[in-house]
Structure 1
Amino acid sequence: MKKRAFLKNLALTGIASTASFKALSETMEKYQHIPEKDLAKDEDFWAKIREGYRLKPDYINLENGYYCFIPQETLEGYISIIREINYQGSWYFRTVQWENKDKAAARLAKMFGGTPDEVAITRNATESLDIIISGYPWQKGDEAIFAEQDYGSIKNMFELASRRHGIVNKIVDIPLHPQSDDEIVKIYENAITPNTKLIMASHMINITGQILPVKKICDMAHSHGVEVMLDGAHCIAHFDFRIDELNCDYYACSLHKWLSVPIGAGLLYVKKEKIKQVWPLMAPYELDHPNIKNLNHTGTHPVATDLAINNAIDYFEKIGAKRKEERLRYLQFYWSDKVRNIPGIRLNTPSDPARCCGIANVGIEGMPPSEMAKSLLEKYGIYTVGIDSAGVVGCRITPNIYTSLAELDIFVEALKELAKV
């Protein structure tokens, strides 16, 4: 089969021509004129979006932060891609897989920031961050700065770098309720010494949902000659921004979270002039690529996931970045505002809308998070996750755009009962 004919056939496995996606397009057209903030509160509209998800009736899922499962429109497209690649077999892998992966990466770059030479598809945010930490040109005595609230396995990767290269890790503490951006920036700045080479900061802290002023952190760090790597595992397709406007040197994200790509896809951004200094985690087929391909080899992998990125972007574009952001923020404040000042209930996420979006963390005084999560599931049919680390004691609550206000009302009443209000 000729390449052009194959690519045409493969395009047919996308979601734009499916009946469900056409129905979604018709729905979006009807509501196109409504401003994003107003549409965030329109339950009729979001009920139509909810119809595109196959939801398990056993519990209310408020743990989308680990994995945002795929709406039916993109799931069917993904299954079609798997069938087509299985049909093509080795022919696909030996001919067009890399071209198609490059196209998907270029589309990610166009939508979320960077150039095609700076954006690579990895398997998840952890791999993206580990590529940088493990391949960074460390010298003995170099210092790295990160926060106690950062992701556990990434902190461990810095520990491995310390054992291997003799670097010094300086760990800062981020307050749950900062008073200003300057307070956060100063925490990182005060830890910098002449030996500091790299700061890692969470764009959004995964256990609380707090959004950090990362551009200000990057600008400050660069004024001291320090590079910055951002952990954006929860950020892409959650709230609207562009990576290349943050002034960071490295950025990582998991696409199986808020972009709803099938498991096995992440994003790595490396500023072009920094690529050559990072040692590849796995050797590429051809050494010394001038672009990010030098850092992007993983061997044979599930290529259907690469192609499914296009389907996920199609769906995300149809919903709209600002519409989704406004809905997620509205859902979070819908439930959190109802319990914010209730005795016995403790919110571990800032109340400033600029410092949070869809994720928040809430605790019950005197109740261990594991017991709280267990009670929510067994007594109220609500699934979430308990967090008890880095000064955060509570359950992380992560609704998605399909979550209804009726479900959040059940959650609010459950919190009140657990707090004995």
Structure 2
Amino acid sequence: MVTRRTFLGSGGLAVGGAMGLALGGGTAKAQTIVTDTKWPAEAPFRFAGDMADFDAAQAALVKLYAVNRDVATFDAAYYGAMTLPVQAAYAARSNWVNHNHALFLRNGAPGHPRDVELDKSRAAVATMLGASVEEIALAGGGTEALYALIANYARLKAGDAVIYADVDYDEMQFACDYLEQSRGARIVRFDLPEPHTEANILAAYEKVLKDTPRAKLLLLTHLSNRNGLVPPVKAIVAMAKARGVDVILDSAQAVGHLPFTVEETGADFIGFSLHKWLAAPLGTGGIYIRKDRLQDIAPWLGNRIHGADDIRARIPTGTVDFAARLTVPYAIAVHEAIGLPAKHRHLLALRDYWIDRVRDVPGVQILLPELPGRHGAVAAFRLPGMGGPDDAKKAAALFLKKYGLLVVAKAGLASGPVLRVTPALFNTSAELDRLVAAIRAERGLFA
């Protein structure tokens, strides 16, 4: 029998065994406590699936995940879920960090100093994005990363204008609004005209920039979480720079989803998530600041843990989930073993699969035009007669309760609320068939 005394006397490890833990008057299932506390050294991940064949790719990818299948979840834009290999790597690193606890956090673990190991994660991200390690800092997700860039943008003066669009993410709009309260900026919000053709998008950005002579900062979303729009990023960045306007690029939905490098965007400031499409552990993301622009983003709330010439000073430096950040290189290795071009093609195929099967449903609106390069796997639709946000929430709740389908009600577009569908690599055509059947069955919900 394991008592509190013997458990504590063993240093907190029940070696090689398992024990039942009493919780709330009941007994949980036996928990095996991992005792291998060596630094994790996984073998290289190899992916043998045929990504060129849609059905074969599904069969191979499904084996990489252990996710709840009671509900068909189409919300990869929120969290992509770790593959089993990444999940195992994260568990091993969590165990190692816990074993070494403050010794590791204080940079004192033999052979594996904290900062050296975290720099390997920064370097892996930098290589993936075509940046240098000095231009990358890890963050607690895309939202934290973008708040850090927007709220600490240093070149703003009272009366300068900050521009954002209806397709931009709510919290990043809030961050821009904060600049009005804290710095005296003038907020200029505009709506992208539909249909979102490339010509319409470029004309809208050109007009708002021309009409805002004191514009200093533009928020630009690489891939919209509302409807999946991918604007012509490089052209818009160049257009803004030509007028002396800096761009903060929200790539939270783009990293691990769209093939790109920082150079290809032209942006000097980028915030991104790693736990969405890259499928790294929750709470991972980062910022990119072009090396010669570092001083234009002020340190986080006066942070002096790192020097003013260190990008890490631009991110909160509290105690974080270090195991999650240490797992990032392995998540990138799995991602690269599958191959981003092949992964991107498959995600587009999943998107096209359900959209092609509801195009003929009378009154159902698909929000994006079918222009190559202007969308990813994220897409959105409206049922006939669907009005305000309450209608969208009602429909999403119905799809979940009646059909076991998680789609997301999204407001914010000038044209009205939508139901967002975001297939992940673990989703199958059979799950998408259920979605198609539900859309067809409920097309008259608001008619």
TM-score by length of 1: 0.90
User: What code does the residue aligned with 2:146 have?
Assistant: L
Per-residue CA distance 1:167-220 (angstroms, 9 max, x = gap): 10111111342232x321221222223311111111111110010111000111
Q: State the match for 1:59 in structure 2.
A: 71
The runs of 5 or more residues in structure 2 that have no matched partner are 1-35, 108-112
User: What code does the residue aligned with 2:393 have?
Assistant: S
Preserved CA contact (<8 Å) 1:282 1:298: no
Preserved CA contact (<8 Å) 2:392 2:409: yes
Identity %: 28
Q: State the match for 1:195 in structure 2.
A: 214
Q: State the match for 2:101 in structure 1.
A: 89
1:16 maps onto 2:59 in alignment: no
Q: Please give the secondary structure, in 2, of the residue aligned with 1:153.
A: helix
Q: Cα offset for 1:55?
A: 2.2
Preserved CA contact (<8 Å) 1:119 1:292: yes
Preserved CA contact (<8 Å) 1:184 1:212: yes
Q: State the match for 2:284 in structure 1.
A: 265
Q: Please give the secondary structure, in 1, of the residue aligned with 2:106.
A: helix
Pair 1:165–1:261, CA change in 2 (3 A): same
Q: State the match for 1:42 in structure 2.
A: 54
Q: State the match for 1:79 in structure 2.
A: 91
User: Distance in 1 between the 2:342 and 2:151 partners?
Assistant: 38
User: Distance in 2 between the 1:288 and 1:13 partners?
Assistant: 31
Pair 1:15–1:420, CA change in 2 (3 A): farther
User: What code does the residue aligned with 2:93 have?
Assistant: I
| One of 174, 180, 183 as aligned partner of 1:162 | 180
Preserved CA contact (<8 Å) 1:259 1:313: yes
Preserved CA contact (<8 Å) 2:368 2:379: yes
Q: How does 1:230-241 map to 2 (within 5 A)?
A: 230-241=249-260
Preserved CA contact (<8 Å) 1:119 1:267: yes
CA RMSD of aligned residues (A): 1.9
Q: Cα offset for 1:110?
A: 0.7
Per-residue CA distance 1:11-62 (angstroms, 9 max, x = gap): 8525436xxx4xxx2624xx4xxxx6xx1x4312321220121121321111
1:304 maps onto 2:323 in alignment: yes
Q: State the match for 1:372 in structure 2.
A: 395
User: Distance in 1 between the 2:251 and 2:324 partners?
Assistant: 20
Preserved CA contact (<8 Å) 1:348 1:392: no
User: Distance in 2 between the 1:10 and 1:183 partners?
Assistant: 57
Preserved CA contact (<8 Å) 2:161 2:187: yes
Preserved CA contact (<8 Å) 1:358 1:398: yes
The more displaced of 343-352 and 253-262 is: 343-352
User: What code does the residue aligned with 1:382 have?
Assistant: L
Pair 1:11–1:175, CA change in 2 (3 A): farther
The runs of 5 or more residues in structure 1 that have no matched partner are 1-8
Q: Cα offset for 1:285?
A: 4.5
| One of 197, 201, 207 as aligned partner of 1:184 | 201
Pair 1:11–1:74, CA change in 2 (3 A): farther
Q: Please give the secondary structure, in 2, of the residue aligned with 1:395.
A: strand
Per-residue CA distance 1:153-178 (angstroms, 9 max, x = gap): 21111111101111101111113422
Q: Cα offset for 1:344?
A: 2.0
1:105 maps onto 2:117 in alignment: no
User: Distance in 2 between the 1:338 and 1:308 partners?
Assistant: 38
Q: Cα offset for 1:297?
A: 4.1
Preserved CA contact (<8 Å) 2:299 2:308: no
Pair 1:345–1:56, CA change in 2 (3 A): same
| One of 161, 168, 177 as aligned partner of 1:150 | 168
1:337 maps onto 2:356 in alignment: yes
Preserved CA contact (<8 Å) 2:159 2:184: yes
User: What code does the residue aligned with 1:389 have?
Assistant: G
User: What code does the residue aligned with 1:417 have?
Assistant: A
Aligned length: 397
Q: State the match for 1:6 in structure 2.
A: none
Per-residue CA distance 1:327-350 (angstroms, 9 max, x = gap): 000110111111123212111123
| One of 211, 220, 230 as aligned partner of 2:239 | 220
Preserved CA contact (<8 Å) 2:268 2:289: yes
Preserved CA contact (<8 Å) 1:147 1:174: yes
Pair 1:416–1:83, CA change in 2 (3 A): same
1:70 maps onto 2:82 in alignment: yes
1:292 maps onto 2:319 in alignment: no
Per-residue CA distance 1:85-119 (angstroms, 9 max, x = gap): 11112111112111211121111011112211111
Preserved CA contact (<8 Å) 2:47 2:338: no
Q: Cα offset for 1:324?
A: 0.5
User: Distance in 2 between the 1:172 and 1:275 partners?
Assistant: 29
Q: Cα offset for 1:420?
A: 4.6
TM-score by length of 2: 0.85
Preserved CA contact (<8 Å) 2:364 2:443: yes
Q: Cα offset for 1:389?
A: 2.6
Pair 1:405–1:249, CA change in 2 (3 A): same
User: Distance in 1 between the 2:197 and 2:318 partners?
Assistant: 47
Q: How does 1:331-410 map to 2 (within 5 A)?
A: 331-367=350-386, 368-390=391-413, 391-410=415-434
| One of 3, 11, 27 as aligned partner of 2:48 | 27
Q: Please give the secondary structure, in 2, of the residue aligned with 1:155.
A: helix
Preserved CA contact (<8 Å) 2:93 2:323: yes
User: Distance in 1 between the 2:133 and 2:320 partners?
Assistant: 21
Pair 1:392–1:12, CA change in 2 (3 A): farther
User: Distance in 2 between the 1:58 and 1:194 partners?
Assistant: 53
Preserved CA contact (<8 Å) 1:145 1:188: no
User: Distance in 2 between the 1:122 and 1:309 partners?
Assistant: 12
Pair 1:50–1:198, CA change in 2 (3 A): same
